[in-house]
Structure 1
Amino acid sequence: MDVTILLFSILFSGAGTNQVLLVSMDGFRWDYLNRVPTPNFDRLARHGTKIEYIDNTFVTETFPCHYSIATGLFEESHGIIGNFMYDPVFNTSFDFNTREPRWWNGAEPIWVTARRQNLTSASYGWPGGDVVIRGFRPNIWFPYSKTVQFRDRIDVTIDWLTVKKIDFVALYFQEPDPTGHQYGIYSNEILEKVKELDNSIGYLLDKFDSQNLWGQVNLIVTSDHGMTGVDYVNKAVDIRNYVNMTNIRRTVESGPVMHIQPVDGKVDEVIQSLYNVRHMTAYKKADIPERWHFKNNRRVMPIFLLAERGWLITTNKTELAIYYGGSGAHGYDNKLLSMKPIFIARGPNITENHVAPTIRNIDIYPMICKLLGIEPSPNNGSLQATSNFLVNNKHVGVGGIVG
């Protein structure tokens, strides 16, 4: 056994355990909470711990960030490096509908960690939560469906916690992401959506109150990424204007990022033609910044492009207008404040009325393992990061570290 995992087991032995409900609201930018009154988010924070924002992984997209939350791993380690990917070994592509286990088996998500150690788990719409991963699904899993009302999802989740006594539950809301994409971060529509989500949180808190769950369930509300304004007409870089497309075998993704697989022997020629293009940065794979923990995966192509905040990269402006025809986007550098998500938690093991320092999204996995009383799979997160707001947590170890 890895010595750091053994340390975790020794330091955690004898601690009490409770259920955990992990809620994600897709695209909930950290400062949306400052734009309109949010009495129910405030109510949650008043009785728990709030972090101004968390540092998410790169790239700042839905599937990669959600899988980092669920596994405690950087994206290069768990392998879900984009919403769209190409795998040169599989010689096939990945999109939102891909459920083949081989794409997801590079990591162990929390619902599998729980099941492997004789606890129960459930997932309502969480990315990857309906996939067989390393031989396991959650005990109960509902695939994502945007047609199911948020209150109905909450009702099902409360039933799982109270009647079925599920130990770990992951619950996913797709908003406010599509509203931010379509209308932008300063629109009346996004403000109204934040109010609607605040009402959903209020409904959830009322359910916790009426079912007396606060003594046994730790509730974590977070998000995957933020959002920023874009202009797909006036702020788009079409690489066809700079590169000989016959030298490119394939491109993967468009918008804030793009992967390029050149024809064999053409990497240098392609990268030279893209180095000085304004409003984006072109990297050879080996030169991708280490701070992103992103490049060491075969699904990252030989050339990687990152747009300047608010700009978009494309090989087809017509397709760009279809996919990014609104006013908001994400996927940019994770150091940008506009890409930061929210974090608020409350429960029997969470400090009340507390404001905590920033953590990383990869720190959530080892924290949940601690709350559940289980041994984490090797991960990139740290328990030390969350020790300041975990109750009865004087001696904190670190989860098994990868890389």
Structure 2
Amino acid sequence: MKKLFALLLMLAAQTVLARPAAPLILISIDGFRADYLERGVTPNLNALAARGVRVQAMRPSFPSLTFPNHYTLVTGLRPDHHGLVGNVIIDPAIPERRFQLKDKLAVLDRRWWDQGVPVWVTAEQHGLRSASLFWPGSEADIQGVRPTLAPPFDDTLTPEQRVDLLLSWLDQPQQQWDFLSLYFSHVDHAGHDYGPDAELTTAAVAQADQAIGRLLAGLQQRGVEANLVVVADHGMAAVSPRRVIRLDRLAPKGSYEKVVDGPYAGLYPVAGRTARLEAALLRPWPHMQCWRKQDIPARLAYGRHARVPPLLCLAEPGWSIVFSAEQAAQVHGGRHGYDNAAPEMAALCIAAGPALRSGVQLPVIDNVDVYPLLMQLLALAPLPSDGRLAPWRPALR
């Protein structure tokens, strides 16, 4: 028994890998469209890209929404594979509730998340220490594991306060962090409220850049040389109440249950009404196309998961699908969720640090490719995913 116990201890010790040469900080600026870097208000981000790697644009996964794409970034899986198929989800296996961002109990329920394994779970399982400041999913015990430190989401914290909180974690003498994630939400809020071309949105972009500068200065003051990966989950398209599609006028009344609306709509046919609903929607419509889930174009990589509604209608970028006159009147500012290949949905992606070459420019990549990079920077073997490290090889030292 003593020999067996010694052997088990030796095997357990071997599962704790050597710590990465430098800590990794993953930063998301929600809704930061790739071309926002060209507005002349982002000196810190542009300087970071110049001394590291700038991706021309990053293509999100469909649907180009916040929760699906944040989970794709840290799992390397398309929404159709990790199960976070939207910001609002119905799952026949979880009949007691819908997944919705405003439902705290749903967000904490690991059943919605367990089909993917995010970076921090693998890191913790290998003896590395992770901390997350508001990354979607970090509050749930995914696979029974949470980050070492992950406070509840608090959207009242300003970008400056979020940076200062993360820097305070680095000041804890008893902690040595290997992977940290930081999430900013204000650029997305401004894009929704005012539209991507508004001066107030540009001001929000400038504030995000100043927060990045604050973080870089704080790291330098502490002598922390980290690998940084700065991303966005999606872009933003301008919308208008003059560009709406009234689906309630096209679909027979009482023939469907609505899951979601906006840039795309998900519908469940009412029993016995499927044929009438499909006959109404599965025809050419201006500024919109509808499909049965099994007929969604393969390029969207969407429609095989049980949580995807049976019918999906996708609007042309800048158009909105609504179900009432009241909804139509409320359309304003900007939205996302459109075809992930639309230029308006292209997202920010920059990386810099000791593991990365300087002055590298990469062409368009898919956001599933971020996960293999993160695992490489943590010296961890990636789990099977939809992503590839190959696009990053020219940038790696």
Whether the aligned pair in 2 keeps the contact of 1:255 and 1:320 (CA below 8 Å) is: no
Cα offset, 1:235, TM superposition: 1.2
Name the residue aligned to 1:256.
263
Name the residue aligned to 1:140.
149
User: Mapping of 1:4-403 within 5 angstroms?
Assistant: 17-91=21-95, 92-96=97-101, 97=103, 98=106, 99-161=108-170, 163=172, 164-214=175-225, 217-231=226-240, 233-248=241-256, 250-274=257-281, 275-319=283-327, 321-322=329-330, 325-391=331-397
- Write out per-residue CA displacement over residues 72-114 of structure 1, whole angstroms, 9 at most, x where no aligned residue: 0001000001111111221231100322111111110111011
Following the alignment from structure 2 to structure 1, what is the Cα–Cα distance between the partners of residues 194 and 86?
23
Cα offset, 1:265, TM superposition: 4.0
Following the alignment from structure 1 to structure 2, what is the Cα–Cα distance between the partners of residues 139 and 193?
31
Aligned-pair Cα RMSD in Å: 1.6
Q: Relative to structure 2, which stretch is displaced further, 118-127 or 273-282?
A: 273-282
Secondary structure in structure 1 of the residue aligned to 2:278: helix
Gaps of 5+ in 2: 1-16
- Write out per-residue CA displacement over residues 246-304 of structure 1, whole angstroms, 9 at most, x where no aligned residue: 221x1111100111110234333212201233211100111001111111101111110
Following the alignment from structure 2 to structure 1, what is the Cα–Cα distance between the partners of residues 325 and 44?
42
Cα offset, 1:357, TM superposition: 2.3
Q: Relative to structure 2, which stretch is displaced further, 45-54 or 69-78?
A: 45-54
Whether the aligned pair in 2 keeps the contact of 1:83 and 1:95 (CA below 8 Å) is: yes
Name the residue aligned to 1:397.
none
- Write out per-residue CA displacement over residues 108-129 of structure 1, whole angstroms, 9 at most, x where no aligned residue: 0111011111111111111111
Secondary structure in structure 2 of the residue aligned to 1:140: coil
Cα offset, 1:310, TM superposition: 0.8
Distance 1:16 1:153, change over 3 A: closer
- Write out per-residue CA displacement over residues 334-392 of structure 1, whole angstroms, 9 at most, x where no aligned residue: 1111001011111110111221222211111111111111122221111112111011x
Identity within the alignment, %: 35
Gaps of 5+ in 1: 1-12, 392-403
Cα offset, 1:17, TM superposition: 3.5
Matched to 2:28, the amino acid is: S
TM-score, normalised relative to structure 1: 0.89
Secondary structure in structure 2 of the residue aligned to 1:246: coil
Cα offset, 1:45, TM superposition: 1.2
Following the alignment from structure 1 to structure 2, what is the Cα–Cα distance between the partners of residues 153 and 353?
28
Matched to 2:119, the amino acid is: I
Cα offset, 1:189, TM superposition: 0.6
Whether the aligned pair in 2 keeps the contact of 1:55 and 1:359 (CA below 8 Å) is: yes
Number of aligned pairs?
A: 373
Distance 1:369 1:388, change over 3 A: same
Following the alignment from structure 2 to structure 1, what is the Cα–Cα distance between the partners of residues 150 and 276?
48
TM-score, normalised relative to structure 2: 0.90
Whether the aligned pair in 1 keeps the contact of 2:41 and 2:202 (CA below 8 Å) is: no
Distance 1:141 1:15, change over 3 A: closer
Whether the aligned pair in 1 keeps the contact of 2:20 and 2:178 (CA below 8 Å) is: no
